[in-house]
Amino acid sequence: MTLATTITIIAIAFIISALLALPLIPMLRRLKFGQSIREEGPQAHQKKAGTPTMGGIIFILSIVVTALALGWMNGLLTTQTVVLLLVLAGFGLIGFLDDFIKVVLKRNLGLTSLQKLIGQIVIAVVSYLLLRLGPFETTVGLPFTSFEIDLGPFYVLFLIFWLVGFSNAVNLTDGLDGLVAGTSSIAFAAFGVLGLVYGQEDLSLVAFSVTGALLGFLLFNANPAKIFMGDTGSLALGGILAMLSVLMKQELLLLLVGIVFVIETLSVILQVISFKTTGKRIFKMSPIHHHFELSGWSEWKVVIVFWTAALAAALIAVLPEVI
């Protein structure tokens, strides 16, 4: 895959996202598909109430169209690309149902945690079975080393944990305008480059499609956001990102590439453990991006710092493989 092809993939996905957003945002506003803001969240966020949500539909459609069209044209439609798009659509559907129940049916809790978990497990298992139809390694390797361990039949349990964990990690991170769209576009670009290095052009095609689609969405999601991705987008992104790391056999490298998502999740876990065991909170509010907001940082400053951290982590992960 040449540099020109890579740029073309990103550009096409970018344009499709931007064009889809133009009519969809006012349509969602007319339908009153607006985001409700938690009262216990930062007070500065109350002004965002009513901003159209479920915008993940925009980049999901862009990714699917770009990957299928260019994959077919370039002979890159493989079982792996199909599985990636299946995870994207499946996790996106779970998020869409959750958003629909909360926004349209006005039931604040949306899908229950158990309902979402069952849906995520089903998608993970179906993906695993599809992959096992062909040659599929059940090993997990330690990044930057030759050490690896074969999980054998237990790999399916790891896959479930990985997809569920990262889909929810990205979902937790989605609390500031442009935060997830920016950090995710960096992560997918990193895996796109790794795919080229490893000769997995089919995976690079999907990764760069996601990058372009997210950048197109970011035009409307950056502060002040005109649309939010909702669970529709965040669950889909986390699921496909985790699956991408699995197919590249760089599962644990995702802990570095997705360091922002990992830290956000750890901040929530630590906050809960601390409060339940000592009655005290470690952070002013979790996830940790809210802690910085309540410490006096502007929303833009938090987002830029987190984007920078994501970029630094991606470079650390990719450069040893490229050089």
pLDDT at 179: 97
Q: What is the dihedral of CA 262, 265, 269, 275, to 10 degrees?
A: 130
Residues whose CB is less than 8 angstroms from the CB of residue 97 and which lie 6 or more positions away in sequence, other chains included: 110, 111
Looking at the predicted structure, is the pLDDT value of residue 42 above 60?
Answer: yes
pLDDT at 307: 98
User: Around Cβ 187, how many Cβ atoms within 10 Å?
Assistant: 31
- Range with the lowest mean pLDDT among 85-89, 132-136, 228-232, 290-294? 132-136
Instruction: Tell me the per-residue pLDDT of 213-266, one tens digit each, with 9 for 90 and over.
Output: 999 999 999 999 999 999 999 999 999 999 999 999 999 999 999 999 999 999
User: Around Cβ 298, how many Cβ atoms within 10 Å?
Assistant: 12
Query: Burial of 233 by CB count in 10 Å (0-12 exposed, 13-18 middle, 19+ buried)?
Result: buried
CA–CA distance, 211 with 183 (Å, rounded to integer):
10
231 appears as a binding residue in the annotation:
yes
DSSP, collapsed to helix, strand or coil, labels residue 136 as: coil
pLDDT at 125: 96
Looking at the predicted structure, is the pLDDT value of residue 37 above 70?
Answer: no
DSSP, collapsed to helix, strand or coil, labels residue 34 as: strand
Per-residue pLDDT, averaged over 169-188, amounts to 97
Q: Please name the amino acid found at residue 200.
A: Q
Q: How far is CA 253 from CA 97, 128, 141, 315, in A?
A: 31, 20, 9, 12
99 appears as a binding residue in the annotation:
no
- Domain borders along the chain are 3-254
Q: How far is CA 174 from CA 143, 163, 170, 199, 289, in A?
A: 27, 17, 6, 32, 10
pLDDT-based confidence at 40, cuts 50/70/90?
A: low
Looking at the predicted structure, is the pLDDT value of residue 9 above 70?
Answer: yes
DSSP, collapsed to helix, strand or coil, labels residue 148 as: strand
Per-residue pLDDT, averaged over 162-166, amounts to 97
pLDDT-based confidence at 33, cuts 50/70/90?
A: confident
The two three-digit tokens of residue 206, written as one number:
């999907």
pLDDT at 39: 57
Residues whose CB is less than 8 angstroms from the CB of residue 318 and which lie 6 or more positions away in sequence, other chains included: 190, 193, 194
Looking at the predicted structure, is the pLDDT value of residue 152 above 80?
Answer: yes
Instruction: Tell me the per-residue pLDDT of 49-77, one tens digit each, with 9 for 90 and over.
Output: 779 999 999 999 999 999 999 999 999 99
pTM here is: 0.94
pLDDT at 104: 83
Q: How far is CA 22 from CA 16, 216, 230, in A?
A: 10, 11, 17
Looking at the predicted structure, is the pLDDT value of residue 93 above 60?
Answer: yes
